Structure 1
Amino acid sequence: MDFRRLTYIVEVAKARSVTAAAHKLYISQPALSQVLAQVEAEVGVKLFDRRESPLRLTYAGELYVATAKEILASYETMKRRLADVAEGNEGKITLGLPVERSGYMLPEVLAKFQKTFPQVSLLLEEGGGKRILDLLENHDVDLVILPKSEESQEDKFQRRLIYPEEIFVLAQKPLPETQGKDYVEMKDLAAYPFILVKPGHAIRLRTDEIFRRSGVTPRILLETASNLTAAQMASRGLGLAIVPKRTIDVLAVKDQLQAYTIGINHETWDVDVIARKDHYFTRSEEYLIQLMQEEFSDVTL
């Protein structure tokens, strides 16, 4: 089986352009066009509708690409297992995670990881929760680090706990509704404006879930792509923010904020490593997960 040709067709489908795919694959556009023509001649159907720009997969093309991804994923699993037999000293780990979490979780862990696996490279794909889960489902990343939410898609993925993390409400000044307590009830905050992270991010999914359970429809003043930005806005008194603990840990203005846990039992979420159901964990991946668990096991709730 020619895995190279399968890879080429999948890349054309991703780029929706032969020219763009050729650039990414480091081959010439005519050479890639020739491969595409050869494959279509062999299967006897057109895989792409060339009358449209960008290119669009035909129904046959959709079937071909879906099957090609499954074959390539199985081939990668085989190679990873073979590499693991050879002590797992070489290879790569493609990791998807939110931008701000990568800066918080990876620096100390990677320094230790590279001492044990110096020949294993780590490639990062950063973005919102929905985007990186889509990358995982499409075999574009090996692992994802993401907190668990209602949309965890347990039927598609397997999860391993790294650590539980607390979620806080941030305010510029003490909130009268707390009556001196270190926690707040969301039902008491309905009148306040909120600065929330935009939909598509894991914290927004959890925030919406908290509001639903509390019976509160939030008055949203501003939406941002960053927990840090939301926290900084809260420090200026523009509204309340809801952020995970790691945001507070790295926040330069944390001394200017009041941080409240949510409810008497506190709101937490599990920060997990997520993989596809069929994923085989190499020795290097197992070690990376172990390091993250050890690094954050003493995070206080």
Structure 2
Amino acid sequence: MDFREMLYITTVADCRSITAAARKLYISQPSLSHIVSKVEQDVGVKLFDRGTSPLTITYAGEKYVETARKILLMSDNLRKELIDAGLGEKGRINFGMPTERAGYMLPAVIPEFKKQYPGIELQVMEAKSDELLQAILRDDISFYVIPRSQGELPVGLKAESIYREQLLLVAEGSMLTEDMFLDESSVLNMTEGKRKNRCVNLSKMANLPFVMLKKGHAIRKKTDLVLRQYGIDPKIMIELSSCISAVQLAAAGLGVAIVPQRAIDALGGMERFNCYDFSVTPEFWSVNAVYKEDMYLGRAERFLIDLMKQKFNL
């Protein structure tokens, strides 16, 4: 077994297709098919059942892929450690984050990062949270930046907090009636301080239409959780892929939306919209860098994560 063969076999396992894997690896399908057959001949067992569509992996194949991923990760860790040891400043960082978060966060960090590491290329995978999770499990990326509420990560992953971000409810003012708000004096007593926003009573909003993000997005998971806690089965007006679009549609009166504050800031800030807290204690979630526990973060990767903390943890 060599590194190239292990990379090819794990890619076939991820794609469940020789054709798709060959396209991803930039080699011809016959060449990849020959390499798979050669590896199977060398190890003496079938790694894939090619008689099914999509292709299925055998038990022996699962064991091969599991070990191959560990070896490839160790090889990548060693490469990074050697670069750091030699004070090398050339290389590539593969990381991921949702598309809108990339547009929000990267302009604040890339200029300073490139001053420090002009020879390091940044490759960003922009995708939903579910897709980013699968990418890191496949070792396609070193880390990804994602907001998450309290909860378990898959075994072997670690979350490092970058900053806290407030979640708010956005609605066109005329959609809300006075009985949908909590009594201000009782809210202030419970929070022991002055609030920026009025607080809605979500339990009174079950009959309102909701503007939601599509399943697979972190804010959709959070919104579903919050609404379940209030016993609300939401009447979904529309599902989107953009928090910014959700803010705009909610502001236009098409429904109410729960969004992170960064989506509101991207459109000019809370002064432009009707923004409300939706719990007695203002709701926050943690924006984290997520990576494998046994992943070696190179000096440049560590600098990038720390720079995000510096810029956003204000």
TM-score, structure 2 as length reference: 0.87
The code of the aligned residue for 2:276 comes to Y
Residue 243 of structure 2 corresponds to residue 227 of structure 1: yes
Paired residue secondary structure (1:155): coil
Uncovered stretches (5+) of structure 1, i.e. residues with no partner: none
Whether the aligned pair in 2 keeps the contact of 1:196 and 1:220 (CA below 8 Å) is yes
Q: Which residue of 1 aligns with 2:190?
A: none
Q: Which residue of 2 aligns with 1:35?
A: 35
Paired residue secondary structure (2:173): coil
RMSD across aligned positions (CA): 2.1
Paired residue secondary structure (1:139): coil
Q: Which residue of 2 aligns with 1:238?
A: 254
CA distance in 1, matches of 2:160, 2:254: 37
Q: Which residue of 2 aligns with 1:62?
A: 62
CA distance in 1, matches of 2:269, 2:248: 7
Moved more, 80-89 or 16-25: 16-25
CA offset digits 1:75-112 (Å, max 9, x no partner): 11111111121224122211111111110011120111
% identical equivalent positions: 41
Whether the aligned pair in 1 keeps the contact of 2:213 and 2:242 (CA below 8 Å) is yes
Mapping 1:182-261, distance limit 5 Å: 182-251=198-267, 257-261=273-277
CA distance in 1, matches of 2:265, 2:123: 25
> What is the aligned length?
298
The code of the aligned residue for 2:275 comes to A
CA distance in 2, matches of 1:199, 1:193: 17
Q: Which residue of 1 aligns with 2:111?
A: 111
Q: Which residue of 257, 268, 274 maps to 2:290? A: 274
Paired residue secondary structure (2:42): helix
Mapping 1:42-81, distance limit 5 Å: 42-81=42-81
The code of the aligned residue for 1:118 comes to P
CA distance in 2, matches of 1:285, 1:203: 26
Paired residue secondary structure (2:159): strand
Change (3 A) 1:277 1:253: closer
Q: Which residue of 2 aligns with 1:136?
A: 136
Moved more, 150-159 or 234-243: 150-159
The code of the aligned residue for 1:140 comes to D
The code of the aligned residue for 2:60 comes to A
Change (3 A) 1:198 1:21: closer
